[in-house]
Every structure is written in structure tokens, then in C-alpha cells.
Amino acid sequence: METRAPFVIVGAFVLAAIFAVFGFVFWLHNTSGVGARTSYHVQFRDPVPGLLVGAAVLFNGIRVGEVTALALAPDDPRRVDATIAVAPSTPVRPDTKVGLDFQGLTGVPVVALEGGKQLSGSAIATTLVAEPGAGMSMTQAAREALRKVDSVLGENSGPLKDTIANFKTFSEWLAGKTEKLDGILGGVERMTGANEPVVKKVVYDLSAATGFPPPSPPLKGQLTIPESNTVVLFDSQKMLLAPGLEVPAFAGAQWSDSLPKMLQEKLIQSFENYDIAHAPMRPNDAVQPDYQLLTDIRSFQVIGEGDALRAEIAFSAKIIDKDGKLVAARLFQQASPLDKPEPAAAVSAFDKSFDTIAKELVPWAAQALASGRAEVEPAATTSRPITAPRSSGTTKGR
């Protein structure tokens, strides 16, 4: 008897330990602890594949209890009744939504509760009804969707065949109209300029005349120089070529301002270089001029053909007094050859032409202001007869 007693004690201890471990694991798995539970009845109107007694119950993703019972409804073969036990503090309301969720890689089902909008009330005496399709897994949902798509395609097979046949007919018609479509698309490209290469713009400036001798005579009275007048053709920043002359290198060349404004600015600067003490001004309300120098642009473009290109500047100049009386008038024109058919060479030639004209115009204007007598002279340095370019545009007003 003495030798058997230790074995009985050891066996009893081992059995007690095994039961304790199983009890702890069961308690840990169900998180039931020893606290109170509140039971609710849940009705599923769809199959609940894989749901077992002891499955977790989640409220807004937090575990609050477990499934305590599962049974088939005797009066409805499609319904499954379940009983869940949750913590008393769980805010279950009559509008709480019920469904199934599948967790993990194996898709273990759990009962998922989602809170509604009601902040008060209780569902203790209310049976919670799961939403339709709550027990449907992702695989089942995909199969159901494919079944509906297949049903729709089967019911509309005739119209779908007609639509595909119409597409085929239309594509065959387009294939036969390829040349016309290419022509239409080409016309759209030409109209919008999409077929033209992107041209990089390069801005150039005209140089004012310098190197005047001491002013003799000096400028008399207050002279103003308004913006030049011209036709629309020359009211542009582009470095213009004579009609019919095409030089691709000039495509992106342009002046620092429109020609009328640039000519006004360079004339004022040239007069300043001649006599800064009596320099002319632009017209403004604060100035009461004694005289005005009015200019009309006749040409400001590259002319010639082939390699014999010239930079031509031509304009008329009129000096009128404050009573509108003509004091002096004269035509100025100069054309200087280009070293190369490119914009930089053209700017150098325009500088030479303007310098020559300005060194004749400024002393002429100073002499006319000093004498105060009406004087009309023929054109200055001319390289060819001055003719105003034909243009459909209107003359820019003073």
C-alpha cells in the first residue's frame, strides 16, 4: 500500500494539471472569464458555412463574446437561428447590423456586429435579423455576381450579336475611307498648326545712332516724338521679310517691341545722343510741346532675293508746330546688305541703315527747328523708289 500511494498522488496531480490547462485554454479562447454575459438571438436567412458554437462575436471589430448555440429553424428551412453571448456593456441596439465576417487565410467565420445610429434603447427583448447575404463568403459572392452577369448576357444575346455586327460593319467602312480620313486629319493639323515644328523665338533690339558731333545748332524749343504711324503689316514684332521672300532662319526672329514703338524709342535715344540738354520727350499731359516730329513707316523689312538680301528702313518725317503748321517734311530711306541670310546679320544691317538715316534726320530736324521756316525736301539716301507695301490692313492712327 505504501508503494501504490505515491503513484495515485502523482496521477491525480497530472490529471488536475491537464484539466487546468484545458480550462485555461478554453477560457482564453472564448475570453469568457468569469464575468456576466447578455444573450441575444440572431436570425440568418442565408447559409452560414463554417460557423460553429464558440465562434467569436465582434462588435465594430472588437471581440465582445462568442456564439453559444446554433439551430435550424423548424418553420423555415432557409433560416438559421443562433444565440450569442456578449459583454453587458456592449451597445447593442434595435438597429444594430448583424453579419458574418471571414478572418485569416483559412477564412474562419465570426459573427460581426456593427453599431447603428440609435444612441439609446435596448435589443434584449428583440431578435436581431442578419442582412441578406450576410453569410456569403467572397468566393460565393463572386460566383453569384458571375451568375447574374451570365444571366444578363444570356437574356440579351441577340442584341449583343447585332451590336458586334454593327461594329464590324462600321470598322469595314472606316477601312475603306482611310485616305479621306487622313486628308481630314491633315487639314485639322494645318488649321491648328499642330503639324508645324515648334520654333524657338529669339528677340533682337535695334541700336540707336551714336557718334554725333557737338550739336550745331542745338535743338530749339520742346520737341515731342509720338509713336510712329503705319499699316497693320508693320505693326508687328516679327522681323519681316518682303512678300514672296522665304528664309526659314527668320521664323523665330522678332524685335524687342512692335516696330512703331521701337522706332519711336530709338529716335528719342538718337536725339538724346545728339543734344541731351534739349532732348525730345514722349507726348503726355504734363508736356506742352512747341513742335512734334511725326513719322510714318513705309518699310522696315528684309528685301532682295537669293543671297542678295538687304535690310531696308523707309519712313516719312514731318515737323509741325503747336498750331499744327507744317515746319518741315522729308522722306528717309536706306537699305544695307546682309553678310549672311540669317537674323543676326539682318540686325547688323538694320543698325547700319538706321544709323545712316538718324545721322541725317537729327541735324535736319535741329536746323528746321532753329530756322522755324517751312521746308519740304526730297527723300534722303535712296536705294530704290519708295513705295508703300500693299496690305489689307488699316493704317494705325496717331
Per-residue pLDDT tens over the stretch 28-73: 555 544 467 888 888 888 888 878 888 889 998 888 889 988 888 8
* Domain count across the chain: 2
Tell whether 256 and 353 lie within a shared domain.
Answer: yes
Among 78, 102, 135, where does a domain finish?
135
**C-beta of residue 392 within 8 angstroms of C-beta of residue 355:** no
Most trustworthy range by pLDDT among 3-12, 16-25, 153-162, 295-304: 295-304
| Sign, Cα dihedral of 228, 229, 230, 236 | positive
Tell whether 131 and 206 lie within a shared domain.
Answer: no
| Residue 135 confidence (pLDDT) | 59
For residue 151, being part of any structural domain is answered with: no
SS (H, E, C) 107-165: CEEEEEEECCCCCCCCCCCCCEECCCCCCCCHHHHHHHHHHHHHHHHHHCHHHHHHHHH
For residue 22, being part of any structural domain is answered with: no
Greater pLDDT, 369 or 118: 369
Tell whether 219 and 324 lie within a shared domain.
Answer: yes
| Residue 93 confidence (pLDDT) | 81
Q: Residue 321 sits in which domain range?
A: 202-376
Which residues are within 8 A (CB) of 217 and not within 5 positions of it... i.e. 6 or more apart?
366, 367, 370
Which residues are within 8 A (CB) of 391 and not within 5 positions of it... i.e. 6 or more apart?
231, 232, 233
| Residue 30 confidence (pLDDT) | 53
Distance (Å, whole) CA 280 – CA 295: 14
| Residue 346 confidence (pLDDT) | 93
Tell whether 366 and 217 lie within a shared domain.
Answer: yes
Residues in the chain: 398
Average the pLDDT over each of 90-99, 120-129, 169-178, 388-397 and give the range with the smallest value.
388-397
Among 109, 135, 161, where does a domain finish?
135
**C-beta of residue 225 within 8 angstroms of C-beta of residue 292:** yes
All three cell numbers of 294, joined, read: 511725326
pLDDT confidence band for 397 (50 / 70 / 90): very low
| Residue 4 confidence (pLDDT) | 55
> For residue range 184-195, what is the model confidence (pLDDT) as tens digits?
877 777 776 555
Average the pLDDT over each of 12-21, 136-145, 279-288, 382-391 and give the range with the smallest value.
382-391
pLDDT confidence band for 154 (50 / 70 / 90): confident
What's the pTM?
Answer: 0.50
Say whether the peptide bond before residue 217 is cis (omega within 30 degrees of 0): yes
Distance (Å, whole) CA 253 – CA 394: 24
